[in-house]
Amino acid sequence: MGRNPIEPHLFIILGGTGDLTQRKLLPALYRLTAQGILNDRSRILGVARDSNLSDQSFRNWAREALATAGVSGKEMTANWCDQCVYYQPIGVGSEGDYRSLLARVQELERKYNIAGNRAFYLALPPDAFPTTIRGLGQVGLNQSSGWTRLVIEKPFGHDLASAQELNRLVHTDFNESQIYRIDHYLGKETVQNLLVFRFANAIFESLWNRDRVESIEITVAEDLGIEKRAHYYEHAGALRDMVQNHLTQLLTLVAMEVPPSFEADAIRTEKIKVLHTVMPIRPEEVVLGQYTRGKIDGQEVPGYREEPGVAPDSNTETSVAFRVEIDNWRWQGVPFYLRTGKRLPRRLTQIAVTFRSPPICLFQSLDGCQIHPNVLTITLQPDEGFDLFFEVKAPVQPVKIKTQRLHFRYTEAFGPLPEAYETLLLDVLTGDQTLFVHADEVEASWRLFAPLLEQKPQVHEYAAGSWGPPEADQITDREGRRWQTL
Ligand code: BG6
C-alpha cells in the first residue's frame, strides 16, 4: 500500500454542520494536518443549508467541535480553524446555489494556488444524496483540472433496487474511479491487518481452508442502544445498519482468495467473488432479536420499544444471528456463524476461527476426549489483538490437558491506534480505493440479504445485557456446536 503524495486540495464537506463533521471529519482532518501529513495549502470548505453562518461563525463552531471531540491544543486548533476552514451556504440547493458553490471553490483554489484537486464528502442524510450529486454534476463540479473525488457515507441504498438506482445516478456524473463509498469498519487498523495477517503469514494461510477449519464465527457486539437515532434505526434495523455492510465486509476479508497483487482492484475483485459464492441464506438459519429492558454493567436500561421515538409495537430487529456457507473450493461445507446486536453485555468485535480436532483422540479421560479444538481469535475492538488457544499437558499425573493461550496486543506493541476516519480520509486524498466499497460489492451484498428484507423472519425478545435471544443457540446447536463464550 505505497502512498501517492498528498497534493494541495480543497476538502468540501456537504453536511458541514452535521454530527459526522463534528465528531469524526474535522478531528480527523485536524490530526492529519497536525501530523504534517496534509499539505499546508489544503483547505476545508464546510457546506450546509444555514445561510446565517459566515466563515468566522463556522470556524467558532469548528473550534467547539474539536474541543468536544477531545482534540487537545486549544491554541493550535484555533489557528488551524482560522487558517484552513471556510463556509459556504447551499440554500435550497438550486442550480444557482451550486453555481455559487462552484464560484467559491474556484476562488479558494486561486487564492491558495490549488490545482483543482477536490474531495467532496457527502456527510448527509441518504435522501439528500441524489439531489446533491445531481447538483454537483449540473454545474460541472464533477470534474476539474486536477482530481475530483466523491465520498459517500453509508447507508448506500436501503435495499437492492435503491442501491442500484443510486449507483446509476452516481455513475451519470462520476466514474467509479472517482467514487469512495465508506464503510468505516474498513478503516479500522485491525480490519486492514486481517489481510496482512492472512497473506504475510504463510503458517496461517496454509490452514485457512475447509481441510483445516471447522467453523468461523464473526461477532460484532455493542453495549450501546440506539442512542438518539430512532428515526433512522426504526427504518434500518440491524440487518441494514450492521449486517449488509460491516459484517459482510468482515466476512469477505476473512474468506477471500489470495489476490494477485495488493492493488485496490485486485482486492475488491476477490471480495466481490466471495459475495457471489455465498449460498442463499436459509430463513431457518437466521434469528432476529429485539432488546427488552435489562441491565448492563449494573445499570438498568430501557427496552427498545421504550426508547424515545420508537413505536410501542415496533418490529425492528436490534440483533441478528445467522449462518452462511460459501460454495467454493476453499470453503465448501464450512459454516460461518455471524451475529451482531445492540445492548449486548459488552462492546466486542471478534473473529474466531475454530480449527479441526485431531482425527484420533489419544487423551481420553472418564469424561471422554480431553482435547479442545485450537481456536484463533482476532479481536478487532476493543483490546485489539490475536489469541491462539492451544492444548498443553498440566504438570500433574495422570495426564491432564489444559487449554492455554498465546496472545498479542496491538497497543502493547505499537501504542494507540489511529482513528478509522484518519486512515480513510488519507486514502481518499491519495486516491487509494482499496478500503472503499465498489458498486458491484454493494449490489452483491444487498442481493444476498434481499430475501430476508422482503420476508423478515420473526423477531424474538432478549433482555438487554444478555447475548441475544436464546433461539439463536439453535443455529449452532443443530450442528453440535456452540457460539464462542465471550
Ligand atoms: C454504524 C452504525 O455504522 O456503526 C451504528 O450505524 C453502530 O449503529 C456503529 O453503532 C458501530 O461502529 P463502531 O466503530 O463503534 O463499531
Q: Give the model's pLDDT for residue 10.
A: 97
Using most ligand atoms within 8 A of CB, pick from 152, 246, 421 the residue to mutate for ligand 1.
Answer: 246
Residue written as grid cell 451475529: 339
Question: 183 CB less than 6 Å from ligand 1?
Answer: no
* Ligand 1 centroid, distance to 114 Cα (angstroms): 35
Residue 454's closest CA among 445, 462, 446, 466? Answer: 446
Q: Give the model's pLDDT for residue 5.
A: 63
- Kindly state the cell numbers that stand for 156: 448506500
pLDDT at 2 over 70: no
Measured by CA distance, the residue closest to atom 15 of ligand 1 is 222
Q: What does the alpha-carbon distance between residue 435 and residue 36 come to, in Å, rounded to a whole number?
A: 23
* Greatest extent of the chain over all pairs of C-alpha atoms, in Å: 85
The stretch 43-60 carries a mean pLDDT of 96
Measured by CA distance, the residue closest to atom 12 of ligand 1 is 185
- The 10s digit of each residue's pLDDT in 283-311 is 999 999 999 999 999 999 999 999 999 99
pLDDT at 486 over 80: no
> How many beta carbons lie within 10 A of that of residue 173, not counting itself?
18
Question: 441 CB less than 6 Å from ligand 1?
Answer: no
pLDDT at 468 over 60: yes
Residue written as grid cell 482476532: 378
Q: What does the alpha-carbon distance between residue 425 and residue 411 come to, in Å, rounded to a whole number?
A: 23
Q: Show which residues are catalytic.
A: 246
Least confidently predicted of 4-8, 48-52, 150-154, 403-407 = 4-8
Measured by CA distance, the residue closest to atom 9 of ligand 1 is 242
What Å distances lie between residue 327 and 273, 282, 480, CA to CA? 11, 14, 21
Burial 299-333 (b: 16+ CB within 10 A, else e): eebbbbbebeebeeebebbbbbbbbbbbeeebbee
How would residue 191 be classed by pLDDT, with cut points 50, 70 and 90? confident
> How many beta carbons lie within 10 A of that of residue 247, not counting itself?
23
Q: Give the model's pLDDT for residue 337.
A: 98
Q: Give the model's pLDDT for residue 1.
A: 46
Q: Give the model's pLDDT for residue 72.
A: 78
Burial 136-167 (b: 16+ CB within 10 A, else e): bbebebbbbeebbbbbbbbbbbbbbeebbebb
Task: Show the beta-strand stretches assigned E in 146-231.
Answer: 148-152, 179-181, 213-221
DSSP assignment, residue 42? Answer: -
Q: Give the model's pLDDT for residue 3.
A: 55
Q: Return left, alpha or beta for 116; rule: phi > 0 is left, psi -120 to 50 is alpha, else beta.
A: left
Question: 153 CB less than 6 Å from ligand 1?
Answer: no
Q: Give the model's pLDDT for residue 141.
A: 97
- The 10s digit of each residue's pLDDT in 198-239 is 999 999 989 999 999 999 999 999 999 998 889 999 999 999
What is the pTM (predicted TM-score) of this model?
0.93
Q: What does the alpha-carbon distance between residue 275 and residue 144 come to, in Å, rounded to a whole number?
A: 35
Residue 226's closest CA among 238, 212, 239? Answer: 238
Q: What does the alpha-carbon distance between residue 65 and residue 304 come to, in Å, rounded to a whole number?
A: 30
* Ligand 1 centroid, distance to 28 Cα (angstroms): 17
* Ligand 1 centroid, distance to 224 Cα (angstroms): 10
Q: Give the model's pLDDT for residue 417.
A: 87
Question: 222 CB less than 6 Å from ligand 1?
Answer: yes
Q: Which atom of ligand 1 is nearest to the CA of 185?
A: 14
What whole-number percentage of the chain has pLDDT above 90? 86
Question: 241 CB less than 6 Å from ligand 1?
Answer: yes
> How many beta carbons lie within 10 A of that of residue 269, not counting itself?
17
Label residue 23 exposed, middle or buried (CB < 10 Å: 0-12, 13-18, 19+): middle
- The 10s digit of each residue's pLDDT in 382-421 is 999 999 999 999 998 888 899 999 999 999 999 988 889 9
Q: Give the model's pLDDT for residue 397.
A: 86
- The 10s digit of each residue's pLDDT in 104-143 is 999 999 999 999 999 999 999 989 999 999 999 999 999 9
Bridge-based pairing of strands 459-463 and 286-292 is: parallel
DSSP assignment, residue 323? Answer: E
Cα of 82 vs its chain's centroid, Å: 32
Does residue 398 have a cis bond before it (omega within 30 degrees)? yes
- The 10s digit of each residue's pLDDT in 327-363 is 999 999 999 999 999 999 999 999 999 999 999 999 9
Q: Cα(first)–Cα(last) distance of the chain, in Å?
A: 34
**Does residue 109 contact residue 10 with C-beta atoms inside 8 Å?**
yes
Q: Which atom of ligand 1 is nearest to the CA of 246?
A: 3
* Ligand 1 centroid, distance to 99 Cα (angstroms): 35
The stretch 182-197 carries a mean pLDDT of 91
**Does residue 39 contact residue 29 with C-beta atoms inside 8 Å?**
no
Burial 5-20 (b: 16+ CB within 10 A, else e): ebbbbbbbbbbbbbeb
Write phi, then psi, for 262 (nearest 5 degrees): -95, 25
Residue 221's closest CA among 350, 348, 93, 308? Answer: 348
Q: Give the model's pLDDT for residue 422.
A: 94
Domains in the chain, please, with CATH?
9-153 (3.40.50.720), 186-415+439-477 (3.30.360.10)
pLDDT at 243 over 90: yes
Q: Which atom of ligand 1 is nearest to the CA of 381?
A: 16
Q: What does the alpha-carbon distance between residue 16 and residue 360 come to, in Å, rounded to a whole number?
A: 62
191-194, Cβ contacts within 8 angstroms, sequence gap of 24 or more: 191/249, 191/250, 191/253, 191/380, 192/423, 192/435, 194/250, 194/253, 194/254, 194/351, 194/378
Q: Give the model's pLDDT for residue 230.
A: 94
